[in-house]
Structure 1
Amino acid sequence: MNSPTMNEIKSQPLAGKARQTIYDNMKAGTFPKAVRIGPRSIAWDAGEIAEWQKKVRDER
């Protein structure tokens, strides 16, 4: 992972989606996969979130 990570609290508002929707979208392959950073912690690559945001904007 080359860029900083974001935990769920930071990524949820950026995605504009509810927590369960984010997990459903990860499973469907339409949202970046989370990375386990501890036994009870996950995070997303900030660069992947930014790329996802750009893709969503471009599709509008």
Structure 2
Amino acid sequence: MKAAEIREFSLEDLKEKLDEAIAQHKSLVLTHAVSQLENPIQIREGRKTIARLKTEIKSRELKA
């Protein structure tokens, strides 16, 4: 998910997306620990998406 896409969401949507991204990331890490993923780069992309979402949420909270 790109930063430009993230800016279009409302604050509630961002928080929902963050919860989904964290759950998906945990699932990927657990799956990777048990058996090798087909594309392990998904783990890195998930971390970056979580960071982007947290950054946007924090910036909106500071503006308010």
Normalising by the residue count of structure 1, what TM-score does the alignment of the two structures yield?
Answer: 0.36
- Larger RCO (alpha carbons 8 Å, 6+ apart): 2
Q: Quick check: which one's helix share is greater?
A: 2
Q: Quick check: which one's strand share is greater?
A: 1
Normalising by the residue count of structure 2, what TM-score does the alignment of the two structures yield?
Answer: 0.34
Which one has a bigger Cα radius of gyration?
Answer: 2
